Amino acid sequence: MNPFDELSIEESVRIREKKAAPGGVEDICVISAGPAKAADVLRTAMAMGADRAIHVDVKEGEDLEPLTVAKLLKQAVEKEKSNLVILGKQSIDDDAGQTGQMLAGLLGWSQATQASKVEFGEADSVSVTKEVDGGVETVKGKLPMIITTDLRLNEPRYASLPNIMKAKKKPLEKKTLQDFGVENQRRLKVLKVTEPAPRQGGGKVEDVDGLVAKLKELGAI
Amino acid sequence: MLCTARRVIPQQLRRHIAHEAATSACSGGFSPAALRRLASTLAILEQKDGKLNHGSLSAITAAKQIGGPVHGFVAGSSIKPVADEAATADGLDKIISVENAAYDKGLPENFAPLLVENIKKGGYTHVITGHTAFGKNVLPRVAALLDAQQISDITAIESESTFVRPIYAGNAIATVESTDSTKFITIRGTAFAPAELGKGSAAVEEGVDPKADSPTEWLSEDLAKSDRPDLSTAGRVVSGGRGLKSKDDFDKVMEPLADALGAAIGASRAAVDSGYADNSLQVGQTGKVVAPQLYMAVGISGAIQHLAGMKDSKVIAAINKDGDAPIFQVADVGLVGDLFEKVPELTEKLKK
């Protein structure tokens, strides 16, 4: 599971456990689009505390771009009548960091990205502390809302063995993109993927004088 | 009801690389859509408290590489001096400015509709901003509203439709071609120098203001105050890791070294998570990406997530007691030793 997504599930479960949201949490649904092994990830999420899962089957190698994922999630959110969507701030493979913001735009909802703290107030208000360049800022929105998680939000729990067993009995719905009326339309063509030019280590020096001399030689000081 | 959405992407880096030979044959460069109209680019600039963020001038440099006219965009209260200053940027043809205090905090809920209207009016082929907290927050929302797939954190422009960006924490470099009629791009600041001020005289024009309401309200901020250079743009960075042992030791060892070098202070995730340093100082895949003249890693082992944030530095120096630490594989100069002895000694010798 993408590490930022673990944070999303943990936060959802904590909101329920701490009764942080007025009115409580009725349902935690997890959704993933990907090949068969995405179902394993969904089982892990249910072992962490999610109630049910939706697996949108996408063939191996047919990755979805963030815009397509956002369109899919928009349909899912409307169908499931969710009023809070928590996503990771970025996936650690394509590092795009877009899906949550795109979903918020498509739904016309409030968004709070890179959250390090989420607090609920009266009348469905939500205050979110966000990590920004140089520090943090706090914004206040209202449900329905999109939140993306940052590293400092929480520490995800490990799924215990009994919970892993229980998760096997929780409902996992299998769907396709067509069920949501979404096409996998790719806008970006990957022309090539290369390995970055390797950096050659320059070796070690014996002492601090050697370090200073080498830095001078390299023009760094 | 509460719903958590997640996304799984198969780890297919290796396969991509294997496919490279097969797919590179079709790297045509310009898509037919891009040929239909001449390029024109909107560079979104940031301001804070009525001051132009000079780092955001990198967007103009990137925009110039596209070819075609470049317009800058600024919005906020007392925007005139900001617009006037930005108008002197080298290579800028026009500044679009919108005066309205509602845009001061860069809230995406009203800033995105503002950009959408101005992008439609200007008929731009490219929209560029920095991959900063602001750019990351706002631009994907704009792209989605205009049904385009954004290209994040690019490090190079090959043609008006082809861009280069690191993926997998910088362990692979992807070249992608966009088929969208308007291309939304965030740029890695360290890959494009800021456009020079004082060289141009662009016209300042008033933009359209849709005055959309924001359902989200800005409450407060808490920014780290420092007299040292800004981490993202500093010429020299000294960075501390878990080896510093405590916050007191971190400050006691790293601050004099930073002062002796005139450097900014950075930190590894381990140091930040242990509370030795502020979150905003984290260098790495999920923190800041820096590329200074000198990066000095102190007590940092060199995990790939950390290397992703600093491996484009010109010179990397490392001090670590573990001679086998991976940081030494990328360091131009390495010193094996106890940082509590070596760093103070180095600081003294640098002062001379």
Q: Quick one: pLDDT band at residue B6, thresholds 50, 70, 90?
A: very low
Is A88's CB within 8 Å of B6's CB? yes
Annotated binding site of B for FAD: 242, 268-269, 282-286, 299-306, 320
State percent of chain A over pLDDT 90.
92
Distance from CA of A125 to the nearest CA of B (A): 10
Is residue A196 one of the residues assigned to a domain? no
Task: Note the pLDDT of residue B36.
Answer: 53
Is residue A25 one of the residues assigned to a domain? yes
What residues contact residue B225 under an 8 Å CB cut-off, 6+ apart? none
What is chain A's percent helix, strand, coil content, to nearest 5?
35, 30, 40
Q: Please list the residue range(s) of chain B that carry CATH number 3.40.50.620.
A: 2-206
CA distances from B297 to A200, B50, B263, B308 (A): 16, 36, 12, 14
* pLDDT average, residue stretch B221-239: 91
Express each pLDDT in A83-127 by its tens digit. Answer: 999 999 999 999 999 999 999 999 999 999 999 999 999 999 999
β-strand pairing of B217-223 with B183-187: unpaired
Task: Note the pLDDT of residue B52.
Answer: 97
Annotated binding site of B: 242, 268-269, 282-286, 299-306, 320
What residues contact residue B32 under an 8 Å CB cut-off, 6+ apart? none
Full strand arrangement of the beta sheet holding A84-88: A172-175, A52-57, A28-34, B2-5, A84-88, A145-149, A110-120, A125-132, A135-142, B217-223
For B300, phi then psi, to 5°, come to -115, 125
Is residue A213 one of the residues assigned to a domain? no
CA distances from B341 to A208, B218, B241, B320 (A): 10, 46, 16, 11
Is residue A59 one of the residues assigned to a domain? yes
CA B215 to chain centre: 27
Chain B contact set for A5 (CB, 8 A): 4, 6-7
Q: Where are the beta strands (DSSP E) in A12-134?
A: 28-34, 52-57, 84-88, 110-120, 125-132
Picking from A34, A112, A203, the nearest residue to B10 by CB comes out as: A34
CA distances from B108 to A157, B102, B105 (A): 32, 11, 9
Picking from B133, B279, B334, the nearest residue to A204 by CB comes out as: B334
SS3 string, chain B, reads CEEEECCCCCCCHHHHHHHHHHHHHHCCCCCHHHHHCCCCEEEECCEECCEECHHHHHHHHHHHHHCCCEEEEEEECCCHHHHHHHCCCCCCCEEEEEECHHHCCCCHHHHHHHHHHHHHHHCCCEEEEECCHHHHHHHHHHHHHCCCCCEEEECEECCCCEEEEEECCCCEEEEEEECCCCEEEEECHHHCCCCCCCCCCCEEEECCCCCCCCCCEEEEEEECCCCCCCCCCCCEEEEECHHHCCHHHHHHHHHHHHHHHCCEEEECHHHHHCCCCCHHHEECCCCECCCCCEEEEECCCCCHHHHCCCCCCCEEEEEECCCCCCHHHHCCEEEECCHHHHHHHHHHHHHC
Is B285's CB within 8 Å of A92's CB? yes
CATH number at residue A116: 3.40.50.620
Task: Note the pLDDT of residue A200.
Answer: 83
Task: Note the pLDDT of residue B226.
Answer: 80
Task: Note the pLDDT of residue B12.
Answer: 44
Task: Note the pLDDT of residue B14.
Answer: 47
Give the up-direction half-sphere exposure of residue B75: CA atoms within 13 A in the CB hemisphere: 25
Say yes or no to pLDDT of B20 above 70: no
Q: Quick one: pLDDT band at residue B3, thresholds 50, 70, 90?
A: low
Is residue A47 one of the residues assigned to a domain? yes
Residue B38: name the closest of B160, B185, B209, B188 by CA: B160
Task: Note the pLDDT of residue B99.
Answer: 98
Express each pLDDT in B30-57 by its tens digit. Answer: 444 445 568 999 999 999 999 999 999 9
Distance from CA of B203 to the nearest CA of A (A): 30
Chain B contact set for A50 (CB, 8 A): 4
Q: Please list the residue range(s) of chain B that carry CATH number 3.40.50.1220.
A: 236-351
Task: Note the pLDDT of residue A9.
Answer: 98
pLDDT, chain B, mean: 91
Per-residue DSSP letter, A178: G
Say yes or no to pLDDT of B26 above 70: no
Q: What is the distance between the alpha carbons of residues B118 and B128, in angstroms, rounded to a whole number?
A: 13
H or E segment at A14?
Answer: helix A3-17
Domain count, chain A: 1
Task: Note the pLDDT of residue B352.
Answer: 85
When mean pLDDT is compared across A139-143, B21-25, B248-252, the lowest value belongs to B21-25
Q: Quick one: pLDDT band at residue A18, thresholds 50, 70, 90?
A: very high
Q: Domain spanning B2-206 has what CATH number?
A: 3.40.50.620
Q: What is the distance between the alpha carbons of residues A116 and B90, in angstroms, rounded to a whole number?
A: 38
Task: Note the pLDDT of residue A37.
Answer: 93
Q: Quick one: pLDDT band at residue B211, thresholds 50, 70, 90?
A: very high
Q: What is the distance between the alpha carbons of residues B286 and B281, in angstroms, rounded to a whole number?
A: 11
Chain A with chain B: Cβ pairs closer than 8 A: 358
pLDDT, chain A, mean: 96
Question: What is the topology classification, in CATH, of domain B236-351?
Answer: Rossmann fold (3.40.50)
Is B143's CB within 8 Å of A221's CB? no
Say yes or no to pLDDT of B5 above 80: no
Q: Chain B: residue nearest A101 by CA? A: B141
Chain A contact set for B175 (CB, 8 A): 190-194
Provide the residue range defining the domain that includes A97. Answer: 3-191
Give the up-direction half-sphere exposure of residue B39: CA atoms within 13 A in the CB hemisphere: 22
Is A60's CB within 8 Å of B10's CB? yes
Q: Is the pTM of this model over 0.80?
A: yes
**A12 touches B4 (CB < 8 A):** yes
Residue B100: name the closest of B76, B79, B74, B73 by CA: B76
Chain A contact set for B138 (CB, 8 A): 101
Express each pLDDT in B190-204 by its tens digit. Answer: 899 999 999 999 999
Express each pLDDT in A55-71 by its tens digit. Answer: 999 998 888 999 999 99
Distance from CA of B68 to the nearest CA of A (A): 22
Express each pLDDT in B150-175 by its tens digit. Answer: 999 999 999 999 999 999 999 999 99
